[in-house]
Amino acid sequence: MDPESRTNGTAVTEFILLGLVETPGLRPVVFVVFLLAYLLTVGGNLSILAAILVETKLHTPMYFFLGNLSVLDVGCITVTVPSMLARLLSHKHTVPYGACLTQLFFFHQLAGVDCFLLTAMAYDRFLAICQPLAYSTRMSQTVQRILVAVSWALAFTNALTHTVAISTLNFCGPNVINHFYCDLPQLFQLSCSSTQLNELLLFGLGILMAGAPVILIVTSYIHVAAAVLQIRSAEGRKKAFSTCGSHLTVVGIFYGTGVFSYMRLGSVEASDKDKGIGILNTVISPMLNPLIYSLRNPDVQGALWQVLTGKRALA
Domains, the chain, ordered by start: 14-309 (1.20.1070.10)
- What integer best gives the mean pLDDT of the chain? 86
Task: Calculate mean pLDDT across residues 243-268.
Answer: 73
pLDDT, tens digit (0-9, with 9 covering 90-100), for 130-144: 998 999 999 999 999
Query: What is the pTM for the complete model shown?
Result: 0.87
Written in H, E and C, the secondary structure of 280-309 is: HHHHHHHHHHHHHHHHCCHHHHHHHHHHHH
Rounded alpha-carbon distances, angstroms, from residue 231 to 5, 124, 130, 135, 225 = 71, 18, 11, 18, 10
Percent of the chain with pLDDT over 90: 49
pLDDT, tens digit (0-9, with 9 covering 90-100), for 28-58: 999 999 999 999 999 999 999 998 998 888 8
Give the model's pLDDT for residue 296.
66
Contacts made by residues 306-310, CB under 8 angstroms, sequence distance 24+:
306/51, 306/54, 306/55, 307/47, 307/50, 307/51, 307/54, 308/47
pLDDT, tens digit (0-9, with 9 covering 90-100), for 171-192: 987 899 888 999 898 899 899 9
